[in-house]
């Protein structure tokens, strides 16, 4: 057995108590240095993922979801990106200070990622089977034939019909759904502990979306992976996530388990998002959209970044940035008035 | 909607399209000029070109000696205070001869570039706009000429002509140069011919000529115009090479290519005969090419790729 | 694919025929009688002249002459010179020099162009990138004559490292002309590869390759390079045909007894059969190379499909 596999094996057999987090992001700050100035893509991000748990990161485009995913994976383009502070602990070890070679051996092996657009994310000039088999050849030092056999197995597992025959086909010869299945096969090939899925179904037809999401969740249970699901789609989140973190302007605005968020959203932004989804029992009521646009990341407001769009904003909100604080156990919110909102909701329900 | 009001709407839409095209065009040129002014390559090549063009137009400003003033007695002298570039085989002042050479080279360069660009615009637009048979005929003719390396083709053609002056050489070079730029133009036309504003103009009943003049041409000229200065450089270089080979210009023309051709037998003994005209050809071609690069980057940013 | 190749070849037949016919017509339309010129000061007997005329079908209309000639070419007979020497012989003797020169030039182009382009892309916007970009602009902007004489002067005459004429020193004789012939193409390859690799390195699939935990060398060398080389390979192929044209000038400057020098000599000596034979060969070469480039393109980029 090689060094790589040993390390991965060791990581897997380590005591797996639910209290030990798989991934901890602490006060992460990421900037982009552009001609237009410095954009604060992530400022002070905090969240935790436990083994086997699904965390959904929810947010509009530009809220820093994808940057978060890329920073965890270590595939952020630097420059223009720059990690200005914080830490990302994987099983207690900080990925950001780890030697690059050690970190590389975690990529694809212990932490892997699925991208939004499978067509552009798969290399157009290599057969799909080759691209999957590469995982085994590089990280497990397998022979070509053996690796190809593994690739066929995986393609079968993710539901590609006639996998044996299609293993040497190229990405463009598959449908969108099938391509995303191939991306998934590649990501789970080495049985990772943590899977990051960045908008995995956004580019797909609605009917295919459900199938791919089902596959992803099946695999997550089967392999007991931690899953970070990045999405802007509240509908997807409700069915699959254990916990939700709502992001806005590079920060977590509110986080809690999924029932808690839906039952008692304690941040005006979360409430705005929930009000904007159509409901079957919605009746005559018009959908409410959140007024205004997300702030420019190069020029964030002094106080709460949501304050310019917030219907409840006060002078306090415009001058002082609220930190992410406990509302009740397991429920955090970054709003000066979240306790009040929470109580109102509970009071109203009671 | 009544017939009349619909017609009015269409008319106003039509004129809006026309105006936006023109405005976009104006700002395109303004943008191009702004980015050129701050490009040091453009400034340097522009300065060289100004000197070279003045030299071509008014060589008397640079020298008092006439280029025909040759004394065999002072043949092949090294550069000195009296003769800055020395003297040539016939004993002419080499500085004067080199100065007077600018006119011929630049004249051929501009003449051929003009001819090539005009032919390319006409044929390229026809091929790109009409497609099908017109395109096939024009493109195949271009292919045929393209299939013969132009140096070879030019040699064969020029060899037939006994008296080769500026016009003859320019004519032959034009014949072999246009297919390349025609392809550029054809490509640019084809990329705009299916644009929505062209469709809109067609739907409004605009004739083919109007569409070409008002919509196609203004939007497809950038690549070829951007290329034209580079083309002048290529042509001057080609003329010098052909003349050097002995199939280009002939005496009594005064040309850098001829000077190089005469100097090749003395490259070991009198290197100055080679060096001076070479520097002038190199500088001129360099300036046109660099200027062309700068202009192309400014007006046709897509070509950078 | 086979059908595509066949169709392309068929399309090229008229191109080849007309291009060679024009050259043929131009060469044989030269004012003056080549047969009389051949005799020089000593007038040939009418009988000998007539034999030669018949041999070259000079009394037939031009078009008939041409087709008689092309019928020969089709079976590998490029005719004979007025001195009775088969043109095929001349080609066989001269072609290796030109092929050797082109080979040296292509090797220079690939090695220097690819290394420079790759370094520039990897160290984008750093010193080495600027250096590659500026020098490629300079090389393209300076006329080939100046590059040729400059190299001759410095490395041949001043430093004495390489011969400046002839092929007497074997491989060494080809180095300077090889660099001259390769110069512009090398600069263009470097620039093309640099831009194409920069673009590829920003692509999603290169990000995926990094996310798979591959070493940087494999990400760049295999995943990015395999894509970035597609336009470069196409360019090098198409450029090979242009290079043979450039060989005429290079061979003249460095006095290399190749096919370019021969065709130039033949044009001036009005030896029509030699000129047309060589030109036909070059045009055929151009057509075949272009076809090979197109086919290679389909293999390099699986998304391309020819029908």
Q: Does C134 touch chain B (CB under 8 A)?
A: no
Fold held by C94-269+289-300: MetI-like fold (1.10.3720)
A123 Cα to chain C: minimum distance (Å): 5
Q: DSSP of C121-165, one letter per residue?
A: HHTTTSHHHHHHHHHHHHHHHS-HHHHHHHHIIIIIIIS--S-SS
Q: Read off the pLDDT of residues C155-212 as tens digits, 9 standing for 90 and up.
A: 887 787 878 777 777 788 888 899 999 998 899 899 889 989 988 998 899 999 999 9
Rounded Cα distance between A319 and A314, Å, is: 9
Q: Read off the pLDDT of residues A171-196 as tens digits, 9 standing for 90 and up.
A: 988 888 889 889 988 988 888 989 99
In chain A, beta strands by DSSP E: 23-34, 37-49, 54-58, 81-90, 93-94, 111-114, 194-198, 226-231, 243-248, 251-257, 325-328, 331-333
Residue C144 tokens read as: 């080939």
Contact B86, B94 (CB under 8 A): yes
Residues C159, C152, C90, CA angle at the centre, nearest 5°? 130
Q: DSSP of B58-118, one letter per residue?
A: -GGGT-SS-TT-B-GGGTTPPP-SSSTT-B-TT-BBHHHHHHHHHHHHHHHHHHHHHHHHH
List A89's β-bridge partners, or say none: A24, A94
Domain ranges of chain A: 123-186, 266-349
Rounded Cα distance between C297 and C307, Å, is: 14
Q: Does B243 touch chain C (CB under 8 A)?
A: no
Question: Which residues of C fall within a CB distance of 8 Å from B297?
Answer: none
pLDDT of residue A288: 66
Contact A118, A67 (CB under 8 A): no
CB burial readout B132-157, b (16+ within 10 A) else e: eeebeebbebbbbbbbbbbbbbbbbb
Q: DSSP of C186-230, one letter per residue?
A: HHHHHHHHHHHHHHHHTSHHHHHHHHTT--HHHIIIIIIHHHHHH
Question: Which residues of C fall within a CB distance of 8 Å from B289?
Answer: 140-141
**In chain B, what are the domains?**
2-303 (1.10.3720.10)
Q: Read off the pLDDT of residues A120-170 as tens digits, 9 standing for 90 and up.
A: 899 988 999 999 999 999 888 889 898 899 899 889 888 888 888 898 999
* B and C: number of Cβ contacts within 8 A: 118
Rounded Cα distance between B274 and C24, Å, is: 36
pLDDT of residue C33: 55
Nearest alpha carbon to residue B223 among B192, B177, B196: B192
Question: Do chains C and B touch, with touching meaning 3 or more CB–CB pairs less than 8 Å apart?
Answer: yes
Which chains does C contact via 3+ CB–CB distances below 8 A?
Answer: A, B
Question: Which residues of C fall within a CB distance of 8 Å from B286?
Answer: 138, 141-142
Question: Which residues of C fall within a CB distance of 8 Å from A121?
Answer: 204-205, 207-208
Which residue among A105, A115, A120 places its CB closest to the CB of C213? A105
Q: Read off the pLDDT of residues A309-320 as tens digits, 9 standing for 90 and up.
A: 888 878 888 888
Distances (CA, A) of A242 to A185, A193, C128: 23, 17, 50
Q: Does C157 touch chain B (CB under 8 A)?
A: yes
Question: Which residues of C fall within a CB distance of 8 Å from B153?
Answer: 23
- Rounded to 10°, the helix B150-160/C272-300 angle is 160
Nearest alpha carbon to residue A217 among A232, A237, A189, A247: A237
Which residue among C211, C212, C303 places its CB closest to the CB of A172? C303
Cβ-based neighbour number of residue B284 at 10 Å? 29
Cβ-based neighbour number of residue C154 at 10 Å? 12
Instruction: For this complex, say whether ipTM is above 0.85.
Output: no
Nearest alpha carbon to residue A61 among A254, A204, A202: A202
- In a mutational test of the C interface, the residue from B138, B151, B250 whose CB has the highest number of chain C CBs within 10 Å is B151
pLDDT of residue A280: 59
Q: Read off the pLDDT of residues C51-97 as tens digits, 9 standing for 90 and up.
A: 766 666 666 677 787 888 788 877 877 777 777 788 888 888 888 89
Q: Which of B121-135, C219-233, C267-281 has the lowest mean pLDDT?
A: C267-281
pLDDT of residue C107: 92
pTM comes to: 0.79
Contact C213, A108 (CB under 8 A): yes
What single DSSP character describes residue A23? E
Split at pLDDT 50, 70, 90, the class of B8 is: very low
Residue of A nearest to C215 (CA): A104
Average pLDDT over residues A244-266: 85
Rounded Cα distance between B120 and B118, Å, is: 5
Q: Does B140 touch chain C (CB under 8 A)?
A: yes
Distances (CA, A) of C189 to A138, A146, A181, C118, C232: 32, 39, 38, 10, 6
The H or E element that residue C16 is part of is helix C2-28
Question: Do chains C and A touch, with touching meaning 3 or more CB–CB pairs less than 8 Å apart?
Answer: yes
Split at pLDDT 50, 70, 90, the class of A58 is: confident
C115 Cα to chain B: minimum distance (Å): 19
pLDDT of residue C220: 92
CB burial readout A315-331, b (16+ within 10 A) else e: eebeeebbebeebeeeb
Domain ranges of chain C: 94-269+289-300
Residue of C nearest to A174 (CA): C303
Rounded Cα distance between C171 and A88, Å, is: 59
Task: Answer with the residue of higher pLDDT: B230 or B18.
Answer: B230
- In a mutational test of the B interface, the residue from C19, C146, C185, C241 whose CB has the highest number of chain B CBs within 10 Å is C146
C237 Cα to chain A: minimum distance (Å): 20
| Averaged confidence pLDDT in chain B | 77
Rounded Cα distance between A105 and B236, Å, is: 58
Residue B209 has pLDDT above 60, yes or no: yes
Q: Read off the pLDDT of residues C37-64 as tens digits, 9 standing for 90 and up.
A: 555 555 566 677 677 666 666 666 777 8
Cβ-based neighbour number of residue A46 at 10 Å? 18
Contact A105, C213 (CB under 8 A): yes
Q: SS3 of B270, please?
A: coil
Farthest-apart Cα atoms in chain C, separation: 85
Backbone angles phi, psi at A216, to 5 degrees: -60, -45
Which residue among A105, A123, A170 places its CB closest to the CB of C209? A123
pLDDT of residue B123: 92
Residues of chain A with a CB closer than 8 angstroms to some CB in chain C: 70, 73-75, 77, 104-109, 112-113, 115, 117, 120-126, 134-135, 138-139, 170, 172, 183, 186
Which residue among A120, A125, A186 places its CB closest to the CB of C302? A125
Contact C149, B237 (CB under 8 A): no
Contact A301, A295 (CB under 8 A): yes
Q: Read off the pLDDT of residues C230-246 as tens digits, 9 standing for 90 and up.
A: 888 888 887 887 787 78
Which residue among C205, C213, C300 places its CB closest to the CB of A108? C213
Q: Does B109 touch chain C (CB under 8 A)?
A: no
Put simply, the answer to whether C249 touches B246 (Cβ < 8 Å) is no
Contact B138, B132 (CB under 8 A): no
Which residue among C202, C213, C227 places its CB closest to the CB of A107? C213
Put simply, the answer to whether B155 touches C245 (Cβ < 8 Å) is no
Contact A111, A192 (CB under 8 A): yes
Residue C112 has pLDDT above 90, yes or no: yes
Put simply, the answer to whether B148 touches C242 (Cβ < 8 Å) is no
Query: What proportion of chain C, given as a percentage, has pLDDT over 90?
Result: 14
Rounded Cα distance between C262 and C256, Å, is: 10
Which residue among C208, C210, C214 places its CB closest to the CB of A122? C208
Instruction: Give residues with Cβ within 8 angstroms of A43, minimum separation 6.
Output: A29, A249, A250, A251, A300
Question: Which residues of C fall within a CB distance of 8 Å from A73?
Answer: 211
Contact B254, B104 (CB under 8 A): yes
Which chains does A contact via 3+ CB–CB distances below 8 A?
Answer: C
Question: Which residues of C fall within a CB distance of 8 Å from A136?
Answer: none
pLDDT of residue A204: 77
């Amino acid at each position: 057995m090689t060094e790589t596999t040993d390390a991965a094996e060791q990581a897997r057999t380590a005591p797996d108590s639910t209290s030990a987090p798989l991934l901890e992001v602490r006060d992460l700050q990421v900037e982009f240095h552009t001609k237009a100035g410095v954009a604060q893509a992530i400022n002070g991000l905090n969240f935790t993922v436990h083994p086997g748990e699904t965390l959904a990161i929810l947010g509009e485009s530009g809220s820093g979801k994808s940057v978060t995913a890329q920073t965890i994976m270590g595939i952020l383009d630097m420059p223009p990106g720059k990690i200005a502070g914080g830490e990302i602990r994987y099983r207690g070890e900080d990925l950001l200070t780890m030697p690059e070679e050690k970190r590389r051996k975690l990529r694809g092996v212990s932490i892997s990622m699925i991208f939004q657009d499978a067509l552009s994310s798969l290399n157009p000039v290599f057969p799909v089977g080759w691209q999957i088999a590469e995982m085994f050849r590089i990280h497990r030092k397998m022979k070509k034939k053996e690796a190809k056999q593994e690739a066929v197995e995986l393609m079968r597992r993710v539901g590609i019909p006639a996998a044996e025959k299609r293993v040497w086909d190229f990405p463009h010869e598959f449908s969108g759904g099938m391509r995303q299945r191939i991306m998934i096969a590649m990501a789970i090939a080495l049985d990772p502990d943590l899977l990051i899925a960045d908008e995995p179904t956004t580019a797909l037809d609605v009917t295919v979306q459900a199938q791919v999401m089902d596959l992803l969740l099946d695999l997550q249970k089967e392999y007991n992976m931690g899953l970070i699901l990045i999405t802007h789609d509240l509908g997807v989140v409700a069915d699959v996530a254990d916990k939700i973190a709502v992001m806005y302007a590079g920060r977590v605005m509110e986080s809690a388990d999924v029932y808690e968020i839906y039952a008692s959203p304690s941040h005006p932004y979360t409430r705005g998002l929930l009000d904007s989804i159509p409901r079957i029992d919605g009746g005559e009521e018009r959908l409410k959209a959140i007024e205004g646009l997300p702030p420019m990341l190069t020029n964030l407001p002094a106080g709460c970044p949501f304050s310019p769009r917030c219907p409840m904003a006060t002078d306090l909100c415009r001058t002082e940035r609220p930190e992410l604080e406990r509302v009740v156990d397991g429920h955090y919110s970054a709003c000066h008035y979240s306790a009040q909102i929470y109580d109102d909701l509970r009071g109203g329900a009671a | 909607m009544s017939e009349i009001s619909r017609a009015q709407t269409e008319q106003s839409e039509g004129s809006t399209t026309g105006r936006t095209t023109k405005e976009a065009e104006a700002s395109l040129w303004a943008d191009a000029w702004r980015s050129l002014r701050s490009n040091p390559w453009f400034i340097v090549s522009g300065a060289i070109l100004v000197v070279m063009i003045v030299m071509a137009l008014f060589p008397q400003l640079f020298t008092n000696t006439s280029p025909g003033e040759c004394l065999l007695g002072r043949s092949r002298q090294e550069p000195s205070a009296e003769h800055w570039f020395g003297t040539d085989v016939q004993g002419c002042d080499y500085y004067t001869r080199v100065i007077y050479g600018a006119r011929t080279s630049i004249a051929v360069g501009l003449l051929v570039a003009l001819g090539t660009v005009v032919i390319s615009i006409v044929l390229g637009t026809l091929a790109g706009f009409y497609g099908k048979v017109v395109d096939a005929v024009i493109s195949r003719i271009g292919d045929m000429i393209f299939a013969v390396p132009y140096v070879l083709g030019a040699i064969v053609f020029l060899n037939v002509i006994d008296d080769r002056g500026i016009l003859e050489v320019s004519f032959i070079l034009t014949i072999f140069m246009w297919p390349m730029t025609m392809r550029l133009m054809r490509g640019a036309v084809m990329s705009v011919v299916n644009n929505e504003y062209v469709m809109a103009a067609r739907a409004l009943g605009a004739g083919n000529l109007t569409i070409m003049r008002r919509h196609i041409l203004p939007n497809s000229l950038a690549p070829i115009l951007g290329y034209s200065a580079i083309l002048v450089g290529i042509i001057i270089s080609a003329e010098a090479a052909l003349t050097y080979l002995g199939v280009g210009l002939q005496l009594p023309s005064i040309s850098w290519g001829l000077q190089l051709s005469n100097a090749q037998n003395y490259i070991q003994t009198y290197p100055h005969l080679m060096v001076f005209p070479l520097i002038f050809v190199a500088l001129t071609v360099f300036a046109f090419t660099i200027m062309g690069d700068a202009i192309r980057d400014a007006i046709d940013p897509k070509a950078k790729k | 694919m086979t059908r595509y190749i066949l169709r392309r070849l068929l399309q090229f037949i008229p191109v080849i025929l007309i291009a060679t016919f024009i050259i043929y017509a131009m060469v044989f339309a030269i004012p003056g009688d080549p047969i009389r010129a051949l005799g020089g000061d000593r007038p040939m007997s009418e009988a000998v002249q007539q034999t030669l005329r018949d041999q070259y079908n000079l009394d037939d209309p031009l078009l008939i002459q041409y087709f008689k000639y092309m019928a020969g070419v089709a079976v590998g007979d490029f005719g004979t010179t007025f001195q009775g020497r088969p043109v095929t012989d001349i080609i066989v003797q001269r072609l290796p020099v030109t092929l050797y020169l082109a080979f040296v030039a292509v090797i220079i182009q690939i090695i220097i162009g690819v290394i420079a382009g790759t370094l520039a892309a990897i160290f984008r916007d750093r010193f080495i990138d600027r250096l590659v970009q500026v020098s490629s602009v300079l090389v393209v902007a300076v006329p080939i004559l100046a590059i040729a004489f400059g190299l001759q002067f410095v490395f041949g005459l001043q430093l004495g490292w390489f011969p400046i004429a002839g092929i007497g020193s074997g491989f060494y004789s080809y180095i300077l002309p090889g660099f001259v012939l390769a110069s512009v193409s090398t600069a263009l390859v470097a620039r093309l590869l640099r831009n194409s690799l920069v673009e590829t390195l920003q692509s999603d699939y290169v990000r995926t390759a990094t996310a798979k935990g591959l070493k940087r060398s494999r990400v760049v060398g295999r995943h990015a390079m395999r894509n970035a080389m597609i336009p470069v390979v196409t360019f090098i192929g198409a450029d090979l045909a242009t290079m043979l044209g450039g060989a005429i000038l290079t061979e003249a400057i460095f006095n290399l007894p190749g096919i370019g020098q021969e065709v130039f000599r033949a044009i001036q000596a009005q030896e029509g059969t030699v000129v047309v034979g060589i030109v036909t060969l070059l045009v055929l070469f151009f057509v075949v190379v272009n076809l090979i480039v197109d086919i290679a393109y389909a293999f390099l980029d699986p998304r391309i499909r020819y029908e």
